Amino acid sequence: MSATSEAIPTTTAGRAPGLLGLASIAAIVVGAALILLLQFIPPTDAISPMRRTISEYALSANKWIFDAAVVLIAAASALLFTLHVLHRSLRAFSPAVVCGALWTVSLLVIVAFPKTDWAVGPSVGGMIHRYASVAGFLCLPVGLLLASRAVFARRTGWLWTARVLSLTSLAWFGVILTGVAVMLTGGGPWWTFVPLGLVERLMAVNELLAIATLAVPLLRSPE
């Protein structure tokens, strides 16, 4: 009787990381699905996915859907990095975890401070939103690159998957920087040089896939 009673909590504890990893993936999937949904329901269906950024959804009556999606992704990200700290694959104050924390905080800041509504004019909140967006888009791939060797120590395939996703995320950001460089050298506005909405959406998909890879080591069966 005592052996059985001891085996139950041990098994449950062994399964907890995998269950939490699955919950994180589910939260990321639901968050991404909600963002995608916004492109198909009014009034946000009128927003151009080619030219308008994802944050444009937050300037509509559907802001609550956008906010819920971003908070879900932030919660999943925080949980994944925390689980790896608890399992000692990452140190609590390592550069990788700091970058993960900055990514998570930046998502919450994006929710708290909507982008500038140019129909009204520039705002302090809009500037905070812009800087948080840049910080988030940079911090996640950098953090994952720093974490990948420790997190995927015995999974070479997933190690390179995480690295490729991180590098391609940075490459998409590089496309935007190219537009800025062209503008500074006498070209037109950087947001017209590239299809900004499309590039941002591709970068976002890249980064969601990247953060989801952190769940892979947690899904292994308990020994």
Average pLDDT, the chain: 90
Distance CA 53, CA 213 (A): 25
Which has the closest alpha carbon to 171: 208, 137, 146? 137
> Which tens digits make up the pLDDT trace of 73-127?
999 999 999 999 998 999 999 999 999 999 999 999 999 999 999 888 899 999 9
Cα–Cα distance between 95 and 144 in angstroms, integer?
10
Count CB-CB contacts under 10 A for residue 9.
9
Alpha-carbon span 79 to 157, nearest angstrom: 23
Counting residues of the chain whose pLDDT is more than 70, the rounded percentage is 92
* DSSP 8-state assignment for residue 167: H
Quick: pLDDT tens for 155-198.
899 999 999 999 999 999 999 888 888 888 887 787 788 899 99
Task: Please name the residue ranges forming H helices in 39-123.
Answer: 63-86, 95-112
Q: What is the rounded distance in angstroms from the CA atom of residue 115 to the CA atom of residue 133?
A: 10
Q: Residue 21 corresponds to which tokens in the numbers above? A: 């990893």
Q: Is the pLDDT of residue 8 over 50?
A: no
Give residue 103's Cα distance to chain centre. 7
Distance CA 215, CA 151 (A): 10
**Size (the chain), residues:** 223
Percent of the chain past pLDDT 90, that is, above it, reads 76
Structure tokens at 182: 């062209």
Rounded CA separation 6/27 (Å)? 32
Write down the pLDDT at residue 69.
98
